[in-house]
Structure 1
């Protein structure tokens, strides 16, 4: 949470206790002031707002903003115009910083890790949670990104094609940032026969057709299934009915399992899994000869994204700002209501901003999608995306919590955006 620059303004012991978390962090203040000028457009206009900016490293600053001084009544968190709101803003200036922003998922892609652990294990200075991930939808593989995932030039998760998905791609070599929807296509082709098999997913457990759920031999299924490529970064591949073929780095078959999936891959291996009628197609295309794989990622303009070392990408839901304009769509329901939020964006002069907005608490009520876009605009972002939020919203500095997550404890997440010193 954000410590107030003038503690006398915070008359509630409960609010002050919540702010003590951030007060304990070993940062070095640059400035602290009553933000009477550039204020956040949240709630009533007369709310007190305080800010404290601390320099974490050359070109890296953390600003803590508290708007409102009284805790919200628990039954008014979603409606009160009095706040309070607690916002943590990490600003990286590539022109001055000695490091870069990257994404990381921990030891394997499929499990989840806490943001604080991802920051600590990466030796990063700071970071925030990033992509939406399967979480409770697939408890066996909870860290599987729901959308784009690029890690050091490796495309390990494809975009969903959902119009709500808004991706963030960062080139750590040039500090260039790309935002917006991306698209993907992939296939394998037998070099000898020319036969092809389209891929539905990358590193995502294939779905067994419901009508063939009890059929171990999926080659006998006449319903559409999935053909999926798995990289060793995923961890042990998913188990279940279907076909799995393991390939070496040349695309040649190492071993094949015609009626069961699930194996551990060596570092230089990949595997193909198939269910439904794709199972027979996979066995046929790998019967003889080696495979050539194509995987193409394109941006909103249809231009191919060059996947090279140093490129990182994560998925969000909804663009907040584009070219200096608020572009968040209208909506209703829980997702558009007040929630904790995580934002990533850029300023006109090329700074990269990562921000968390605490929510679902009497000490910080959170923001609607419209309010989130308004905060992004007030922070000077010309382009911004809404990353995973809710109980996932977390910021960490030096492996310690900087904000106050909404749950009883910090939630483990699929991946994180981190700042790493060179």
Structure 2
């Protein structure tokens, strides 16, 4: 079986480095036996249930159910392929439906403002309302609209992101660095390119718990879609570059912190010529230089570029056209366009190419040492900063109605003032069972759980939590999805 990429990861408390916990401090630290029971932020009522399981000393699992179902279904007309549009677009779509004999209404909604993106509004065209047991009635209306040439779909009202009674079905895993004696690690599974389920990664590493990591690239070649969209550091090796300014989880030993990061990678030839390396273990765009490592797990793209194969000392052992294996103990510099010319001009055989990789913590402006026990998992959207909601949807590339307002399954990570790591999954897309959460609600939820810093990881069908070999939440795809990376908790 291929060698797995398991990284020991570490971090400090969110605001400053965590000092080692003395034995007396450990004994005095209160045992986490429950989560908050009052003031649940997503519903008017605190009515709910909470079940606690001690997985290991300092590692606790909570199963929480809050709220009750009250939402049903409606039918939304599609406006340029979406279920919303501008006021003028919605009124035009409504008029066309009325002309065809259908009773519809135009509904305004407000997308809340977040830290880096202002409030906005949109308009939907809808008709009818049905209970959870009456979905078939909504489906009949969609068919009648389709017969008249009008595109529409059934919508569950709980997905809207407006006020709801729920319910919310959640799993929360807390890791207390003062009492837990294991470690936090990151895994990319068998390779960077290959997707794998969190439970498979956990099983191979003998982890006692795991959650899915950040987004992976669904817009690249099919055989490369395990590639993380953002930073990945495994065993101190930079395996995917950062999206500059995006939040990430830095792990080391049993500690974690959340911050924003950027990466810089340079290549310097023996002749002194220095250039920027644009990416790591991904498809190269025009005129880019990309570094492939042995963890990539696939042949490099055959895109008419040029490649220099480097041994473990950085010596150029081969110059070749693009499209070849990355053998164990080697790295490959891959250039397209003008950067292919750079390789032919400056990466001569038997010359040495020095590759320098640097990760910078944008809060402290200091470099994060890439030691063998350092690892970083990229998040998707920052949620909480210094104890306050700070949703960075625009900075992180997700400033839209679907990502900010609509409810989806979520995987969330946060760190408390004392350095405790909180991992949470919120099931969604399960009408009558669990509605999921919007980005704004996810931030509110993590603050309620005590997080001073928090980040949204990949969600939707990727959202999964594994404890002792069992998936303890309910993935919305119906089964666990292969993902790019995972955060593991080892004994």
CA contact (8 A) 1:72 1:365 kept: no
- Give the SS at the match of 1:334: helix
Q: Which residue of 1 aligns with 2:173?
A: 90
Tell me the matched-pair count: 367
CA contact (8 A) 1:68 1:82 kept: yes
1:402 and 2:469 equivalent? no
- Displacement, 1:408? 3.1
- Displacement, 1:265? 2.5
Distance across 2 between alignment mates of 1:63 and 1:304? 36
Which piece of structure 1 moves more, 75-84 or 239-248?
Answer: 75-84
Alignment of 1:219-298 (within 5 A): 225-240=287-302, 241-258=304-321, 261-288=322-349, 289-298=351-360
CA deviation map 1:323-373 (0-9, x unaligned): 212111475411112111111111112211111111111111111111000
Distance across 1 between alignment mates of 2:224 and 2:58? 37
Distance across 1 between alignment mates of 2:32 and 2:348? 68
Q: Which residue of 2 aligns with 1:12?
A: none
Distance across 1 between alignment mates of 2:255 and 2:478? 37
CA contact (8 A) 1:31 1:52 kept: no
CA contact (8 A) 1:85 1:357 kept: yes
CA contact (8 A) 1:125 1:419 kept: yes
TM-score by length of 1: 0.83
- Give the SS at the match of 2:446: helix
- Displacement, 1:245? 1.4
**Runs ≥4 residues deviating over 3 A:** 30-33, 69-72, 329-332
- Which ranges in structure 2 are unaligned for 5 or more consecutive residues? 1-30, 74-155, 394-398
1:319 and 2:382 equivalent? yes
Q: Which residue of 2 aligns with 1:310?
A: 373
TM-score by length of 2: 0.71
Q: Residues 228 and 111 (structure 1 numbering): CA distance in 2 closer, same or farther, change over 3 Å?
A: same
Q: What root-mean-square deviation, in Å, do the aligned CA atoms of Structure 1 and Structure 2 show? A: 2.0
Q: Residues 309 and 71 (structure 1 numbering): CA distance in 2 closer, same or farther, change over 3 Å?
A: farther
Q: Which residue of 2 aligns with 1:21?
A: none
- Displacement, 1:135? 2.7
- Displacement, 1:96? 1.1
- Displacement, 1:59? 0.9
Distance across 2 between alignment mates of 1:131 and 1:305? 20
Q: Which residue of 2 aligns with 1:166?
A: 247
- Displacement, 1:72? 4.5
CA deviation map 1:60-103 (0-9, x unaligned): 10001101233743522224611110110000111111201111
Distance across 2 between alignment mates of 1:326 and 1:95? 27
Distance across 2 between alignment mates of 1:228 and 1:339? 34
Greater radius of gyration (CA):
2
CA contact (8 A) 1:92 1:353 kept: yes
Distance across 2 between alignment mates of 1:231 and 1:40? 46
